[in-house]
Structure formats: structure tokens, C-alpha cells
């Protein structure tokens, strides 16, 4: 066998391993099906399959040790749920009371963390699976006292495969997450490059909005990658592939900061350099760097060293030559002898483009550092590579997290109450319409009822349409393939398709699960009699979920989005203070700085997501959506100016000017905190304090005292960024005042952020 053939086989195996959960589901369901046929016990296939599916739904990314501990907890919860259903099945009032209370408690446990949220949700699903299995056994005239044990057996078997997989492929999930991270980061960088087109009168606000939404996606992938890495290192220093992946993650953080930075207002740059190719050159460099991010993701997927194609290096060299020419042209004419207002504007904004070029060069250096095969970030001189563990450290910490959510103002509490009431209503409707085979109503309600209105409404349509498609496909396949063995194989394939599409194509996933159910139930009876009830129950359950999210403690984003905006302002202030401190002591990417930066981006992403969700809600609950949208755009622009400050951290050696700059930055941070109070409703006064006015006056006066020296270049950059931050503060205060004042006139709304942006 040639080396190329071996390499191709390795690539195919890695691609197959990347589809980890569907492959594990295939192994689990396929082996369970084989065991049922070998023992001629096709009647136990349904509970075994349902148990394995519930166990797969409880699975989260983890090390094999963490997965083993989670599996033990999962099986304990599953056992309690399954045997409780078995005991209470024939006592309807007690059954539904227990189910509603369990739904509330388990949903609240989701506040502890993602692992516990998945286990709690899967436990609820397994409880309803237990009712389905027991109800089906009764309808077929079979005893149902053995159903809980079979459900647990299916769950345990999938757990064994899951733990073994985590032990065999410990780094594969981290690798897959880093591939996604650098792919979406490349998309973000390339879209950011589109802002550098020197075109007049373009809709920069619309592009800023799209950029904020893309940034939210990047932040999500950064968080996912960090948590995946941390689960595999804990308190130990990582080695091998995990150490490399940690270094690549830290590089992604730095690239994100530099790519998200803005050094000047883009409309001003477009006006000043309309007749120049400087911005086009900047756009080309940034576009090539976005492509390099995606190539880095591909090299991670192939487990090959990253080798840059060198195009961005050449483009950077050409950009420097163009800047030298522009600088020479600007120096050849004094401001008094300038022949045009345009030349003066270009000379005034040229330092910002030069700072942008330095930032692009440093960004290119970060990407080049990814070529270090062992420790990419260490190759760039980084010493502090620690990560923050956000998981609960003790039972008391976990209890405190739940307690903080135990208030009607908390979205999780509202969702828990809504789900409990929806299940109770669904059970009452089921008992009134058709008690036999009616538990699909409850299961549909559980799947469709989401925490947000927009997600629930979307799932309603997808669930109903997917069920119709699955029923039609099932009816056709039952006639085409009457052989039970083939039907079992179709059920296994449908289960794999469900897990391959459940997070990306819910309609297809619903159709696949409907097909699996019909094929499995046909092993012990005639599943064609379930077709009409299945459609009816799906419609009823979806309607109940939709009514619940509309009337039971509705969680409207428009009524709480000011709280997210206040949190974003507080974290912007913390980020600014960390940046300014490093202009005093020198750049260091320690944990405190990276935590402040991550908090600022997390809160900005949360605000962007909330605004997008708000535009999926009814019009009557978002009367001031236009102001909220503008506030989001200004907040993200503020973050981009902060990122530019963070990208150029160096010690300010000019002590008198450094004092002026630090005071202006501190007053800006205080203004952001006052804005936080205003958005919280405790302070509706937006006027600046005397100290802030004095700091701004000193900052403006500093512009007249800056020369062309090397030290002055750094002072000019910081002064420019702080001036831009203060301008954003003015805009944010204006929007916040209109937002909090119900009598203020509404501005013309911007484009809907939920609509496609490209």
C-alpha cells in the first residue's frame, strides 16, 4: 500500500471520527438491533432504542473521566425517572403532579452548567419515553414492569460506547471545535475587510450590525473551544496535542481582538481616501488574513503543520510602500500650503491608517506563530497561558447558581414554570381526547417549548412539517419494505440521521425521529394505526407549547434588553481599565486582561443575540426596537475602538501626556458605569460630571501638542482612540435616554437584524 493511499485512508478515518456522535449512535443502535434479532426479542427493541437515544441526548463534550462521572449521574437520574413513571403510571393525578414538579426542578438545575442542563433535559425525555414504552406495552397486551430496566440497559450501553470513544479519541472534540472556530473567525475577518471599501454614502450601520451578529458567532465558538480544552487539562499542565490546541486557542483570541479593532470612523476614511488605493490595500491584506484563518482551520482538521502561503506578507509589504509614499506626499506640503481640503483630511487621518497597518502586521505575526508545531502561543513569547474554570467548584457554588435563578425575573425560572404548566395542560388534554397512545402530546410539548418565543414558534412549524414528512415516508417505506429486518435497519439509519441534523436541520431531524418510531413500533404491532394519532398529537402538543410561551410568564426580550445593555457597558468599562493599566506597565496577556476582554465580548454577543431574538417577537412587545438596535450598533462600535486600544498596548513614556490620557480613560470608564446605572433605572441623568468635562477638554487640547516623533505616534494613537470612545459615549447616552424615556419620539427603524445580512 502506497504512502498516498495510507494518507488518504487516515484522512477518511479522521473525517469519519469528526462525525463522532452520529457514529456512536450508529454503533449503539446497530449493536442493539443485532442483539434483539439474535435473541429473537424484537419486542424489546423500542425501550432499548429509546434508552440509548436519551443517553445520547444527555451527552456533552468531556474527557473520558468526566464522561464516566456524568454517565453515572445520568443513569441514576434515568433510574429514578423510569421507576417513578412505572410506579405512578396508573395514578394519573399523582403522575402529572410529579411530572410537573420534576420538570420544574430539573429545568432549574440547568443553571449549574451545560453538563447538568443536558442531563436534566434528557431525564425529562426519558421519563416520557418510559410512558410511551409502558403505554405501548399495555396496548399490545404485554407486561410493562420490565420497561424501566430495558430503558436503562439501552442508556448504559450507549454510555459504555461514549466513555470508550472519549478514551480512544481524547483530542478529537477539541480539534473539531478549533476547526469551527478558525472557520467562523475567517468569515468574520473577511466580512470586516468589506468595511474598508472607500465608497461614499454606503450603509455602514447595516454592515456594523451584520458584523455584531458575526462577532456573536465567533464569541460562541471561542467559549466552546475554551471549555472543551479546559475539560481535558483541569489543574494540570497540558502536554502533546492538547498543549498545541491550547496555544492555537490563545492565538485565536488575539487574532479576534486585532480583527475586531477599529482605528477611525469608516465614513471619514472613505471620504478622505476616496481617490487613493490605501483602503483597498488594507482590505486586501485583511481579506487574505481571513483566508489564512480558514486555511489554518483546514490544517488543524488534517493534523498537518500550518504553512502560510505568503500572499499576506507580500500584500503587507505593498501596503507599507504605499503608506511611505502617502507620508512623503503629506510631509512635502505643510498644512498652511495645502492645495485642497482633501489633502489636509488625508494628512490628518493618515496616522490612523498607519496604526491600522501596524495592527495588520501584528495580526499576520499571530497567524505565522500558529506554524509552531508544539507550542504556538509560547512561540510568540506568551508566558501566562492559564484559563478560567467557570464550572461550579462545590455543591454550595452549584446551589448558589440555582438560587440566583430562583426569581420570577429570571428567564430560566420562567421557562421552568412555563414547561411545568404546559405539560400539565397537555396531560389534561390527552386524558380528555384519547388516553391510549396520547403521550406524544407531552413529548411534543417538551421538544417544542423553548426558552425564547422565536425559537418556540420556529420549532412549532418545523415539528409539524417534519412529522408530516416522516409519517408519509414511513407509510411508503412500510409498504415498500414489509420485511421486519429491513425496517429495523431503516430505524437505525433514521436514528443516525436524527443526531446528524438535530442542531442544524430540525425539520429533517423530526422527520427522521418520526420514521424511527414508526419502524420500531411496527416490530410489535401495526404502526400504521399510529399515523393519524401521531399527526394529531404533534399538532396539539405544538399548539400547547406555542400558547404557553405566549401567555405563561412570557419572556420578552424587549422588556429586559436594557439589563443586557447595562451589563455590556459595565464590562466595557472593566475592559478599558485593564487596557489603560497595561499602558502604564506594558503589554502582558495575563488571565485578568483576557478575562476582561472575554467578558466584554461575551456581553456584546449576548446583547446582539437578544436584539435578534427581539425582532422575532410580536410587534406589540417591542415598541422601541429601533433605539435598541442603534444602541447595539454603537455598543459594538465602542468595543471595536476598545479593541484597537488593546491591540497597541505599549508603555506611554511621555509622563505628562500619559497622565492626561489616563485621566480621560478613567473618566470614560466612570461614564460607562454611570450609563450602566441609567440603564438600570437608578439614575436617569446623562449629563457629564465636571471631572469628565475637564478630562475631555484636556484630551482635545492634547491634539494640538502632538508632533511626528516616535513617542508622539503612540500618544496620538491613544488620544485618537479615546476621542472616538468619548464620541461613542455621547451616542450611547443619547440612545439610552430615548430608550428609557417612553415619551421620546421613535427614530426610523434600521433593517431587521433577523433577516439575512449578506
CATH of the domain at 615: 1.20.58
Which candidate, 116, 148, 117, places its Cα nearest to that of 131? 148
pLDDT score recorded for residue 388: 66
What residues of the chain score a pLDDT lower than 70? 1-19, 137-145, 200-201, 234-239, 330-345, 372-389, 436, 524-529, 681-687, 707-711, 741-758
| Residue 615 and residue 682 in one domain | yes
* Helix spans in 503-560 (H): 506-521, 531-551
Q: What is the predicted pLDDT for the residue at 368?
A: 84
The verdict on 187 and 38 lying in the same domain is no
Do 610 and 627 belong to one domain?
A: yes
Q: Which residues of 141-172 are buried (b: 16+ CB within 10 A; e: fewer)?
A: eeebeebbbbbbbbbbbbbebbbebbeeeebb
End-to-end distance of the chain based on CA atoms, in angstroms?
Answer: 47
DSSP letter assigned to residue 552: S
Cell of 603: 456581553
Within-domain flag for 544? yes
**Distance between CA 511 and CA 535 in Å, rounded?**
12
Would residue 234 be called left, alpha or beta, if left means φ above 0 and alpha means ψ between -120 and 50 degrees?
A: left
Has residue 144 been placed in a domain?
Answer: yes
Query: Domain check: are 188 and 122 in the same one?
Result: no
CB-CB neighbours of 688 under 10 Å:
18
Residue 754 lies in a domain: no
Left, alpha or beta for 197 (phi > 0: left; psi -120 to 50: alpha)?
beta
Domain boundary residue, one of 146, 170, 194:
170
Q: Which of 320, 308, 317, 313 is nearest to 368 (CA)?
A: 308
* Rounded distance between C-alpha atoms, residue 348 and residue 335, angstroms: 10
Cell of 311: 500572499
C-alpha cell at 622: 417591542
Question: In the prediction, which pLDDT does 636 show?
Answer: 92
Show the CA angle centred on residue 190, arms to residues 189 and 196, nearest 5°.
95
Whether residue 651 is found in the same domain as residue 510 = no
Indicate whether 155 belongs to any domain.
yes
Q: Are 67 and 118 members of one domain?
A: yes
d(CA 31, CA 41): 14
Same domain, 374 and 425: no
Q: What is the pLDDT of residues 504-517, one digit of tens each?
A: 899 999 999 999 98
Residues 621 and 550 both lie in one domain: no
- Considering the domain boundaries, does residue 614 fall inside one? yes
Residue 528 lies in a domain: yes
Residues 415 and 445 in one domain: yes
Q: HSE of 748 in the Cβ direction (CA atoms, 13 Å)?
A: 1
Cβ partners under 8 Å of residue 192, min gap 6: 211, 259, 260, 286, 290
Q: Is residue 398 part of a domain?
A: no
The pLDDT, as a whole number, for residue 77 is 93
Specify the pLDDT at position 239: 66
Which of 555, 576, 602 represents a domain boundary (last residue)? 555
Residue 758: predicted pLDDT? 31
* Residue length of the chain: 758
d(CA 508, CA 65): 33
My answer on whether 306 and 411 are in the same domain is no
Measured distance CA(116)–CA(105) in Å, rounded: 12
* Residues 125 and 208 grouped into a single domain: no
Element (H, E) at 17: helix 3-18
Domain extent for 623: 558-740
Among 555, 581, 598, which residue terminates a domain?
555
Question: Looking at the 3D structure of the chain, how many domains does it have?
Answer: 4
Please, which residues have CB within 8 angstroms of residue 504's CB and are 6 or more apart in sequence? none
Q: Are 311 and 359 within one domain? A: yes
Q: What is the pLDDT of residue 499?
A: 92
Whole-number pLDDT of residue 4: 57
In a domain, 59, yes or no: yes
Amino acid at each position: 500500500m502506497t504512502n498516498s493511499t495510507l494518507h488518504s485512508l487516515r484522512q477518511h478515518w479522521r473525517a469519519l471520527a469528526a462525525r463522532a456522535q452520529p457514529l456512536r449512535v450508529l454503533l449503539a443502535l446497530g449493536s442493539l438491533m443485532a442483539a434483539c434479532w439474535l435473541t429473537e426479542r424484537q419486542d424489546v427493541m423500542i425501550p432499548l432504542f429509546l434508552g440509548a437515544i436519551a443517553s445520547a441526548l444527555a451527552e456533552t463534550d468531556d474527557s473520558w473521566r468526566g464522561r464516566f462521572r456524568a454517565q453515572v449521574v445520568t443513569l441514576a437520574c434515568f433510574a429514578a425517572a423510569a421507576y417513578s413513571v412505572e410506579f405512578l403510571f396508573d395514578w394519573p393525578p399523582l403522575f402529572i403532579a410529579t411530572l410537573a414538579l420534576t420538570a420544574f426542578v430539573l429545568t432549574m438545575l440547568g443553571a449549574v452548567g451545560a453538563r447538568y442542563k443536558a442531563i436534566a433535559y434528557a431525564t425529562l425525555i426519558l421519563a416520557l419515553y418510559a410512558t410511551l414504552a409502558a403505554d405501548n406495552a399495555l396496548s399490545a397486551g404485554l407486561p410493562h414492569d420490565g420497561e424501566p430496566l430495558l430503558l436503562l440497559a439501552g442508556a448504559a450501553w450507549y454510555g459504555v460506547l461514549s466513555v470508550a470513544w472519549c478514551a480512544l479519541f481524547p483530542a478529537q472534540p477539541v480539534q473539531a471545535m478549533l476547526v469551527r472556530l478558525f472557520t467562523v473567525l475567517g468569515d468574520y475577518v473577511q466580512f470586516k475587510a468589506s468595511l474598508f471599501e472607500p465608497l461614499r454614502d454606503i450603509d455602514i450601520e447595516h454592515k456594523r450590525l451584520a458584523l455584531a451578529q458575526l462577532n456573536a458567532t465567533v464569541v460562541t465558538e471561542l467559549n466552546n473551544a475554551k471549555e472543551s480544552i479546559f475539560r481535558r487539562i483541569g489543574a494540570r499542565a497540558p502536554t502533546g496535542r492538547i498543549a498545541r490546541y491550547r496555544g492555537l486557542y490563545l492565538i485565536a483570541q488575539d487574532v479576534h481582538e486585532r480583527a475586531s479593532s477599529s482605528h477611525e470612523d469608516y465614513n471619514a476614511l472613505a471620504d478622505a481616501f476616496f481617490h487613493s488605493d490605501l483602503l483597498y490595500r488594507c482590505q486586501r491584506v485583511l481579506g487574505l488574513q481571513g483566508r489564512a484563518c480558514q486555511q489554518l482551520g483546514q490544517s488543524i482538521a488534517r493534523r498537518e503543520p500550518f504553512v502560510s502561503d505568503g500572499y499576506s506578507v507580500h500584500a503587507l509589504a505593498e501596503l507599507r510602500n504605499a503608506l511611505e509614499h502617502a507620508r512623503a506626499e503629506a510631509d512635502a506640503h505643510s498644512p498652511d500650503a495645502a492645495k485642497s481640503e482633501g489633502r489636509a483630511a488625508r494628512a490628518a487621518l493618515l496616522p490612523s491608517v498607519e496604526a491600522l497597518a501596524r495592527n495588520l502586521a501584528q495580526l499576520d505575526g499571530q497567524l505565522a506563530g500558529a506554524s509552531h508545531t508544539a507550542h504556538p502561543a509560547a512561540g510568540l513569547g506568551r508566558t501566562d497561558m492559564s484559563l478560567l474554570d467557570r464550572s461550579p467548584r462545590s455543591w454550595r457554588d452549584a446551589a448558589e447558581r440555582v438560587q440566583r435563578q430562583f426569581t420570577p425575573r429570571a428567564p430560566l425560572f420562567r421557562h421552568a414554570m412555563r414547561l411545568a404548566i404546559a405539560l400539565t395542560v397537555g396531560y389534561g388534554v390527552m386524558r380528555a381526547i384519547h388516553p391510549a397512545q396520547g403521550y406524544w402530546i407531552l413529548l411534543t410539548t417538551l421538544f417544542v417549548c423553548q426558552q425564547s418565543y422565536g425559537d418556540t414558534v420556529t420549532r412549532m412549524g418545523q415539528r409539524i412539517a417534519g412529522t408530516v414528512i416522516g409519517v408519509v415516508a414511513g407509510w411508503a417505506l412500510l409498504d415498500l419494505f414489509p420485511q421486519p429486518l429491513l425496517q429495523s435497519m431503516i430505524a437505525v439509519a433514521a436514528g443516525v440521521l436524527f443526531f446528524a441534523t438535530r442542531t442544524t436541520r430540525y425539520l429533517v431531524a423530526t422527520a427522521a425521529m418520526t420514521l424511527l418510531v414508526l419502524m420500531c413500533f411496527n416490530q410489535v404491532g401495526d404502526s400504521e394505526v399510529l399515523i393519524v394519532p401521531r399527526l394529531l398529537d404533534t399538532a396539539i402538543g405544538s399548539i400547547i407549547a406555542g400558547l404557553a410561551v405566549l401567555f405563561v410568564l412570557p419572556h420578552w426580550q424587549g422588556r429586559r434588553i436594557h439589563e443586557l445593555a447595562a451589563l455590556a457597558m459595565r464590562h466595557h468599562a472593566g475592559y478599558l481599565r485593564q487596557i489603560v493599566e497595561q499602558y502604564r506597565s506594558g503589554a502582558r496577556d495575563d488571565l485578568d486582561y483576557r478575562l476582561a476582554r472575554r467578558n466584554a465580548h461575551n456581553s456584546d454577543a449576548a446583547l446582539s443575540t437578544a436584539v435578534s431574538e427581539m425582532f422575532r417577537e410580536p410587534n406589540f412587545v417591542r415598541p422601541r426596537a429601533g433605539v435598541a438596535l442603534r444602541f447595539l450598533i454603537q455598543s459594538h462600535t465602542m468595543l471595536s475602538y476598545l479593541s484597537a486600544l488593546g491591540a497597541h498596548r505599549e508603555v506611554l513614556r511621555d509622563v505628562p501626556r500619559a497622565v492626561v490620557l489616563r485621566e480621560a480613560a478613567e473618566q470614560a470608564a466612570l461614564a460607562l458605569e454611570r450609563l450602566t446605572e441609567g440603564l438600570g433605572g437608578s439614575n436617569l441623568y446623562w449629563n457629564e460630571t465636571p471631572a469628565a468635562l475637564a478630562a475631555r477638554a484636556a484630551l482635545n487640547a492634547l491634539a494640538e501638542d502632538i508632533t511626528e516623533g516616535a513617542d508622539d505616534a503612540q500618544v496620538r494613537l491613544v488620544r485618537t482612540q479615546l476621542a472616538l470612545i468619548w464620541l461613542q459615549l455621547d451616542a450611547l447616552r443619547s440612545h439610552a435616554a430615548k430608550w428609557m424615556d417612553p415619551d421620546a419620539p421613535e427614530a426610523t427603524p434600521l433593517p431587521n437584524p433577523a433577516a439575512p445580512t449578506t
